[in-house]
A and B are shown apart, each in its own frame.
Chain A
Amino acid sequence: MEQIARAAALLGAGICMGIGALGPGVGEGFVAGKACEGIARSPENANLITRTMLVGQAVSESTGIYSLVIALLLIFST
């Protein structure tokens, strides 16, 4: 039984990281795409736009990192 539980944890780790990477990836890409657009339209604000983009991406990234942590926990501490 223990090994079945561990097997479920391992399968869960894979699914967790896979699906967890989906959202941040799409979100960060959307931010970057819109930032390219913004810089093209108002180049004088390039620094401000880049800064906003990075802050936005850092926040989006957080759920990806949660998935990574949970996946590592599932692999190593179950």
Chain B
Amino acid sequence: MTVTTEILQIASYLGAGIGVGIASLSAGIGEGYTAGHTAHSFMRQPKAGDSLVNSMLVSQAVTETGAIFALVIALLLIFGGFTDPAGGWFKAAALLSAGIAVGVGSVGPGFGSGYSGGQASKAIGRMPKQNNAITGNMLIGQALAQAGSIFALVVSLLLLYSTPNQPADATLGEVILKCAAFLGGGLAIGIGTLGPGAAIGFVAGRANDMIGRFPKERASIIKTMFLGAAVSESTAIYSLVISFLLIFAI
């Protein structure tokens, strides 16, 4: 069966829809969690209002990152002009996989960043004087947590722009093989960053909470946070390696 423009469009639209839908889920929940804790902290410390709102807005902006990546990929999928039938089934699989990768890949980082922001608001509500230390630590933690969504974005862009067209003489077997490899690559990085992203956010959140309670122990808390986050990140890096292998070495 030869590939027509319509099939490529179907793959692009499906990928765009799935990607943005799943990515928005976690960003929405994460930002809501932050806002909820901020509102709660207002009640305890109405005087810390300004610093609470600042911290909340910064946190929500970072939490949104994954959803914005998914939005960019979706717009590229819809308007990027990937409709040349010469791409064949290879391209159709790559387009669908690009959407799934960035969508699922944003879920973990979204939850993690939101948790970190919520705990930061809680800690600022308890100790408004530690505002700077807590917000700083929150941002470091969120940056570490977002690494997963950046991996997913990279894989997704590679799937869009660096995948080969289907050769004219490709057999059915080769086509199935390559399509499975592209889909597998997208799923590996997408699902693989879920755990590390959420978990690094959890580490950062606990660290924020504890800096708020025991500001004197800040240095050793941050050290442990970095160490723990680095170990948690390892499985996301394994996923990235497997996904590169599947996309380029098959």
Contacts and interface: CB of A to CB of B under 8 A. Distances in A.
Contacts of B173: 2-4, 7
B224 A29 contact: no
Contacts, number: 202
A14 B186 contact: yes
Contact of A12 (B174, B184, B195): B184
A36 B228 contact: yes
Dominant SS at the A interface? helix
A33 B234 contact: no
Interface residues on A, range: 35 or more
Interface string A1-40: 0111011101111110111111111111111111111011
A35 B239 CA distance: 26
B168 interface: no
B246 A33 contact: no
Contacts of B246: 10, 13-14, 75
Dominant SS at the B interface? helix
Contacts of A14: 181, 183-188, 242-243, 246
B220 interface: yes
Contact of A25 (B108, B210, B242, B250): B108
Interface string B216-238: 01001100110111011011101
A8 B180 contact: yes
Interface string B164-185: 0000000111101101110111
Contact of B194 (A22, A32, A36): A22
A40 B214 contact: yes
A73 B187 CA distance: 18
A43 B132 CA distance: 22
Interface residues of B, number: 62
Nearest to B186: A14
A29 B202 contact: yes
B207 interface: yes
B188 A71 contact: yes
Contacts of A28: 199, 228, 231-232, 235
Contact of A43 (B196, B200, B209, B217): B217
B126 interface: no
17 contacts: A7-B177, A11-B184, A18-B191, A18-B194, A21-B194, A25-B197, A28-B199, A29-B232, A30-B199, A32-B199, A33-B207, A36-B207, A37-B210, A43-B214, A61-B235, A64-B235, A68-B238
Interface of B: 108, 112, 171-174, 176-177, 179-181, 183-203, 205-207, 209-211, 213-214, 217, 220-221, 224-225, 227-229, 231-232, 234-236, 238-239, 241-243, 245-246, 249-250
Given A8-B180, A32-B231, A39-B210, 19 more contacts: A10-B180, A10-B184, A13-B184, A15-B191, A17-B188, A22-B195, A25-B192, A25-B196, A25-B232, A25-B235, A29-B202, A32-B227, A34-B206, A40-B221, A61-B235, A68-B242, A71-B242, A72-B242, A75-B249
